[in-house]
Amino acid sequence: MVIIPKPAKPNYSLPKAYYPIFLLECCGKLLEKIINKHVLSDIHHYNILLSIQFGSHNYYCAVDAALCLVHNTQAAIWAGLVVSVILFDIQGFFDNINIVQVIYIFCNLSFPPTLCNWIQSFLLE
């Protein structure tokens, strides 16, 4: 891992003032893309993702998520309901992912144990 300072940060004593860059070998990056392609293929083939999840769905984008939010909000208002929306900016999400939970989800969705073990090894090491 290489630590690179972010430009124009007021306090470089804080960890968030730096980018941690992990330098994987080209083969590792290629293998990651191959596994990702196969996992997404299985997710789409077996219809694992909910229709309300827009990430990792083919032909979906942020505009679709925004349109869904607007539609649901307008429908609730027209029904006479009080509506509030909470938006989160999940910064550094993948740096803080619960690896045990990820492996549990993959195993629970009947992905092969060898794939679950590989993902665990990849995320931990």
The reply to whether 73 falls in a domain is no
The reply to whether 64 falls in a domain is no
The reply to whether 37 falls in a domain is yes
The reply to whether 104 falls in a domain is no
Q: For position 59, what pLDDT does the model report?
A: 77
Instruction: Provide the domain count of the chain.
Output: 1
pTM value?
A: 0.56
Measured from the Cβ of residue 11, the count of other Cβ atoms closer than 10 Å reads: 7
Residue 22 domain boundaries: 1-48
Q: For position 62, what pLDDT does the model report?
A: 81
* Max intra-chain CA distance, the chain: 56
Give the Cα separation of 125 and 102 in Å (integer).
15
What's the Cα-to-Cα distance from 88 to each of 20, 41, 91, 93, rounded to whole Å?
22, 28, 9, 11
Which one-letter amino acid corresponds to residue 30? L
The reply to whether 85 falls in a domain is no
Q: What is the pLDDT along the chain (125 residues), one digit of tens a residue?
A: 788 899 988 888 888 899 887 776 767 788 888 998 888 888 888 888 777 777 777 778 888 888 999 999 999 999 999 999 887 776 767 677 888 998 999 999 889 999 999 888 888 87
Q: For position 3, what pLDDT does the model report?
A: 87
Q: Is 39 exposed, middle or buried (0-12, 13-18, 19+ CB in 10 A)?
A: middle
